[in-house]
Structure 1
Amino acid sequence: MSVFQSAGRTDLGKVRKRNEDAILSRDDARLWVVADGLGGHSAGDVASTLIAERLAAIEVGLSAPDAIDAIDDSLLAVHEELRLLAQQRRVDLIGSTVALTLIRDGIGLCGWVGDSRVYCYEGGQLRQLTVDHAHAPPPGVTSQAGAGVLTRAVGADQVLSIDWLAVALKADTQLLLCTDGVNKEMSDQELAEVLGTASSAEAAIDNIFACCLSRGARDNVSAIVIRAPA
């Protein structure tokens, strides 16, 4: 089994009173997850934590198809629970975004709902693998200054749709999973520079958080870096 180096962290940030993000790093199952509870709504921290807890129960050693089925089933179950909880609490929405990576046989399988992201860094280039489920910000508003309006989230619509993609992992490949508290503060070019110069996954995480916190960290900040074995 190939050993992938990973490091992850979540932080309240400098403005928010509650951390509504959650992360999950399961080197044993080769599964990594970030989730961002919807700010401004009730119990966003409950939603993101529930996602992390349920995905933490995925069995080790599952094949790629079985693991994807188990992840889909877990997210669909959380989706229904959150919709029921919102009804019980008489609130419009209790929801969360999620972005995850499952690694099997040298392939990164990335699933997501919402605007949490998975990036791939290799050959000195950074590219965003996931496509935000969100309307673009209004004209004149940059992505760093404010995100768009989400079009999809766990716990939101009646039917949950989870997008998946696959990426081949090379010897120098790094994957970055993050909530929007990271890409609100750092450009793709800055993220690429961090990933390209850091000596380890832990060092990359240290640098990402130092940058976001130094710039005011207006949102909760969560990120995971995964490095393929050389």
Structure 2
Amino acid sequence: RDILKPMIDATAASGASKHKRADLLLRWSELQLEASSTGMAALKSLLQVLTLSKHDEMDGIHATALSLLARLFLKMGHAKRALALLKSCINQLVQHEHVHYQGEAMLTYAMCYMQLSNPKNDAWMEVTGERGARPSSNQRKRDRLNALSFLRRAQELFEKCQDIHKLKQIHYLQARVCNDLGADKLSQRDAASEKFLQASRYLAQMRTDSILDSLHIGGLQMLVGRKLPIGS
């Protein structure tokens, strides 16, 4: 983030191409979206990306910005609006953008359906427009099955780019959805739980290796310039 913001400012000052500026703003928006609990910090830069990309043959960037805006709506609790945005941009995104952004869109799709299937939140109001009616158990089941389908698609995409952090999140969500679906999905729940644990162990080992590497490097740096004892 410390590097990206000056780069964005530099593109504005130097009159760099709209495509380059839009791409940097898109990356900045994603970082802001991840860092903010509500996602509102990303709104300004997302609107800038949408404006820049609308008329300059930047279909992929425009579609990705819409998918990030959908994620922002989801964070705000507007799952239905998020789904509408995703449906409007998913074809362009799949045609033009990297598998990472495709995977993020599929993950957002899945989380929209998870939010709609949760009887403890108020997302159902967007579906019916009425405060008095909640989705039926059959509708919640359909939403959970849709969530599971999009989680599988997200998993396939993140496996292509070997994003272990995202795969860990997906396996956790798969386990949750399968658990909510009941007895028919318990074996899938257990399989997803095991994959989640495997990913967690792998990432923990990676962190341990990184710390050990740092210690080894630090130890070597301490030895640099030190005289070796003669005859030892």
| TM-score normalised over the length of structure 2 | 0.27
Larger Rg: 2
Higher relative contact order (CA 8 A, sep 6+): 1
Tell me which protein shows more helix as a share of its residues.
2
Tell me which protein shows more strand as a share of its residues.
1
| TM-score normalised over the length of structure 1 | 0.27
